[in-house]
Amino acid sequence: MEVQEQFDSDISVLLQDKQRLQEELESVRLTVRRLENELDLTRQQIKIDEDLLIKSNDKSEQLINDKLKLETSNEELKKQMQSLQQDINQSSDLNLIISNQNMNISHLNEELKNNKKQIEELQKEIQILKESLSNENEQHLTIIDTLKHELQQKDEQQQYTG
């Protein structure tokens, strides 16, 4: 009888331990699901950040190409100015035409200056975006590492208690 009571008591304790362990396991599973969801969100954010960086790089390349085109146009305009100056020396009849061309060139040079300023401002903005994306990427990587570490600790605790 006494052995039966001891046996029943041990069974009862084991069943309570089993119940407690099942509850802990479910809690750990929920935590793992939450961490997996957070990891997925972080991965999505990293993908978005990478896409933004690619777009930023594309825009930067486009601006560089535009700058090169403007510089080429500027060189062509300078050559035109030289040619017009020679024509002025050869013929006084061309003075009016040259005057108009010079005004156009001045206007284009002014536009070129303005465009160069815009390019510089955009390049600064691109640099700021790159730095911001880099910082965000580092933050996301830190979060991922922290989440991995927490998950590993939970797994280790689960293995230890299991």
In percent, the amount of the chain with pLDDT more than 90 equals: 21
Query: Which amino acid makes up residue 21?
Result: L
Alpha carbons within 13 angstroms on the beta-carbon side of residue 117 total 5
Any idea which residue has 């156009």 for tokens? Answer: 104
**Token output for 130:** 């790159």
Query: What confidence score (pLDDT) does residue 103 get?
Result: 87
Say if CB 94 and CB 87 are below 8 A apart.
Answer: yes
Quote the CA–CA distance of 2 and 99 in Å, as a whole number: 121
Quote the CA–CA distance of 129 and 137 in Å, as a whole number: 12
In degrees rounded to 5, what are phi and psi of residue 91?
A: -150, 130
Quote the CA–CA distance of 151 and 40 in Å, as a whole number: 14
Query: What confidence score (pLDDT) does residue 28 get?
Result: 93
In percent, the amount of the chain with pLDDT more than 70 equals: 93
Query: What confidence score (pLDDT) does residue 64 get?
Result: 85
Mean pLDDT value of segment 120-140: 87
Quote the CA–CA distance of 64 and 41 in Å, as a whole number: 34
Quote the CA–CA distance of 89 and 82 in Å, as a whole number: 11
Average pLDDT, the chain: 85
**Token output for 139:** 């933050």
* pLDDT for 29 beyond 60: yes
Q: pLDDT of 93-124, one tens digit each? A: 556 666 888 888 888 889 888 888 988 898 89
Cβ-Cβ contacts under 8 Å for 85 (sequence gap 6 or more): 98
Q: pLDDT of 45-70, one tens digit each? A: 989 888 888 888 888 888 888 888 98
* pLDDT for 90 beyond 80: no
Query: What confidence score (pLDDT) does residue 99 get?
Result: 80
Give the confidence band of 26 by pLDDT, cuts at 50, 70, 90.
very high
Give the confidence band of 92 by pLDDT, cuts at 50, 70, 90.
low
Mean pLDDT value of segment 122-138: 86
Quote the CA–CA distance of 140 and 144 in Å, as a whole number: 6
**Token output for 23:** 């509850």
Query: What confidence score (pLDDT) does residue 142 get?
Result: 92
Say if CB 137 and CB 46 are below 8 A apart.
Answer: yes
Sequence spans of domains, the chain = 2-142
Query: What confidence score (pLDDT) does residue 20 get?
Result: 92
